[in-house]
Amino acid sequence: MVVGGATANDITDQVRFRLDRAQREFAEKIEAIKSTNAAAGRLKSGATIRQLLRLLETEFQSTADDILEYAAKLRPKSSLTNSEFLSLMASLLGQASLAFKSAVKADQLRSFGASRGVDAIIDKALDDVDTALTLKMREFALALEGSVAAAAPAVEIRYVQIQQTTMDEVVVALAELKDAVRGTNDVTEDIRSIGLAEIAAFEATIIQPRVATDLIQRFVDRVVGWLRTMFAGAVVATVAQKLVEALLPLLTTAT
C-alpha cells in the first residue's frame, strides 16, 4: 500500500477504460461474423454458433490477461491493501465476464440451432468463461501474494489459512450454489449472469494459500444476501446457508 497512491476509483477508471475498449472490439468482431455468415446464407447455423463461442473464449481470456498484466503494473502505485486490490480486480473482471457473455446473446444463439445438444454446447461455453475467470484470478492472487510478501502492510489485515477439508467443503458448496442459480427460472438472464459472475469472482479469490477475511466477510454479507433476495427459491437459500456455515468459522480463526 502506498500512502497517497492511486485510489480504488482511480484504478477502476483506468481498468474500465481498457475493458470498454476491449468490449467494443469484441462487439465489432461479433457483428463481422454475423454479417459474413448472413451474406453467405448461413447466419442461423451451427457454424455461426461455433465461431461466436470460440470468439467468446479467446477474446475474454485475452482481455483478462491484458487487464491483469496492466493491474500488476498498477499495484505498486496503489493506496489499497493487497486484499482490497485483489477484490477490486475480481469484481471488475467479474463484470467483464458478464458483459462478454451478454454480448454473444446466448438466447439468440439457441434459436439458431434449437436442440439439447446446442443448448449444452452454449451452456458449457458460458461456464468456461467463469472457469477462466477463476483460474486467472487464482494465478494473479498467487503472484500478488508473492510480490508483497516481504512488505509489511500499512494497516492491519487479518488472514486465514483454510484447511483442505474446509476448502473441499467450500468448493463443493460454491459448485452447488452455481448450479442452483443456473437452475432458477424466475429471474432474468442478466440477474443470473451477475450472480454467477459474483460467485466466480469469490471462487477465484478464495483459492489461495492465505485469504483475507474482508473478502470472506464481503461475500457472506453482501453477495450471499443479494443472492437470497434475488433468487428466492428454497434451493438457492438452502445451498447459500450451507456455504455461509462453512465460511463463518473462518472469520473467527484469522490471524
Domain residue limits, the chain: 1-156, 158-255
d(CA 237, CA 227): 8
| pTM summary value | 0.70
d(CA 49, CA 89): 30
In this prediction, residue 157 has a pLDDT band, given cuts at 50, 70 and 90, of: low
Q: Specify which of 64-68, 141-145, 240-244 reaches the highest per-range mean pLDDT.
A: 64-68
d(CA 89, CA 72): 10
In this prediction, residue 184 has a pLDDT band, given cuts at 50, 70 and 90, of: confident
φ/ψ of 151, rounded to 5, equals -100, 130
Question: Which residues is 6 bridged to in the sheet?
Answer: 78
pLDDT of residue 142: 74
Taking residues 172-195, report their average pLDDT: 84
d(CA 50, CA 45): 9
The number of C-alpha atoms within 13 Å of 70 and in the hemisphere containing its C-beta is 18
Three-class secondary structure of residue 211 per DSSP? strand
The number of C-alpha atoms within 13 Å of 179 and in the hemisphere containing its C-beta is 9
Q: Is the distance from CB of 11 to CB of 77 less than 8 angstroms?
A: no
Residue listed under C-alpha cell 499495484: 75
Q: Which secondary structure element, helix H or strand E, spans residue 159, and what is its range?
A: strand 159-160
Q: What confidence tens digit (pLDDT) does each residue in 7-32 have? A: 889 999 999 999 999 999 999 999 99
**Packing angle between helix 46-74 and helix 116-147, nearest 10 degrees?**
10
For residue 148, pLDDT over 70 is answered with no
In this prediction, residue 114 has a pLDDT band, given cuts at 50, 70 and 90, of: low
Q: Which residue has the higher pLDDT, 118 or 18?
A: 18
Contacts of 158 (CB under 8 A, 6+ apart): 212, 213, 214, 254, 255
Q: Which residue has the higher pLDDT, 200 or 128?
A: 128
Side chain identity at residue 7, one-letter code: T
